[in-house]
A and B are shown apart, each in its own frame.
Chain A
């Protein structure tokens, strides 16, 4: 029974092309450990160097976004905070993907959605110039183009980004961002 359940969970992941999945407290140690595994995995697959670097870079930005912005944290009785999130990395139908999800305050959804819509609507040149503006501090982070992390993800995701929100309760929504290569 135990093995069946675990195997069934693994089959669900496999059917969705998910090679790596983590759900729980997202910490810097997790980032380093899973990041190294993903790098080795990409090497073993003999993925081209640029794609490997982009997948790793997007993984780092995604996980750091969860660490910084997840609205769901385990109260460990003081710092460090233990933010919750879910991560899935894999490939399906020829696309490599890096997805992350976490709770956000319902009040932040319109702003996040607008930021991501803006970013998704920009072409390569538009993303480049917004990136520079945000890096320079000409555009305050979180105003027009969200954090520099989202822009970096969009620039590296050769097949684009997808995002979605679903309400969880009155105060919060679940947010997910998927980057495709």
Chain B
């Protein structure tokens, strides 16, 4: 089984990637000291894996409570990768889970504005 699981820390989200099922989840808060140190290895794994996919179904769920501005940049980069993966002929579904009316919802909607091939769905809690 090809998976990547990293527990949440005080300032980084839980990572739960299942490369066989193509089900991915980031859950928690993200405001690390060095975003590249946390994010770059994840992006490398995803980029390498997604490059090989054709006609696959990819589910990516973001359940973020808070992220800082450097993380926003990294997340937007991940959206770009998901969009490219969709354009390469995969069925990519992004789920953005958050509380209704909070700033995370607004950020998600702004990130989603540039998506044409990947699907985006808000999953609103109370």
Contacts and interface: CB of A to CB of B under 8 A. Distances in A.
Contacts of B10: 32
A130 to B, nearest CB: 12
Interface string A40-62: 00000000011001101100110
B95 to A, nearest CB: 21
A156 interface: yes
Interface size for chain A: under 10, 10 to 19, 20 to 34, or 35 or more residues?
A: 20 to 34
A135 B101 contact: no
A151 to B, nearest CB: 8
Given A136-B76, A152-B72, A54 B66 contact: no
Contacts of A128: 110
A10 interface: no
A53 B76 contact: no
Contacts of B99: 49
Interface in B67-111: 68-70, 72-73, 76, 99, 101-103, 110
A149 interface: yes
B72 to A, nearest CB: 6
Given A128-B110, A136-B76, A156-B103, A60 B70 contact: no
User: In the complex, which range does the number of interface residues on chain B fall in?
Assistant: 10 to 19
B83 to A, nearest CB: 13
B60 interface: no
Given A132-B110, A135-B73, A135-B76, A50 B102 contact: yes
Contact of A57 (B66, B76, B113): B66
B68 A61 contact: yes
Contacts of A82: none
A28 B76 contact: no
Contact of B72 (A64, A148, A156): A148
Contacts of A56: 66
Interface of B: 10-11, 31, 33, 66, 68-70, 72-73, 76, 99, 101-103, 110, 113
Given A53-B102, A135-B73, A60 B31 contact: yes
A152 B103 CA distance: 11
B68 A57 contact: yes
Contacts of B70: 64, 148-149
A156 B66 CA distance: 13
A156 B107 CA distance: 12
Interface in A137-179: 147-149, 151-152, 156
Given A60-B31, A128-B110, A54 B103 contact: yes
Contacts of A149: 69-70
Nearest to B73: A135
Contacts of A50: 101-103
Contacts of A132: 110, 113
14 contacts: A49-B102, A53-B102, A53-B103, A54-B103, A61-B68, A61-B69, A64-B68, A128-B110, A131-B110, A136-B76, A148-B69, A149-B70, A152-B68, A156-B103
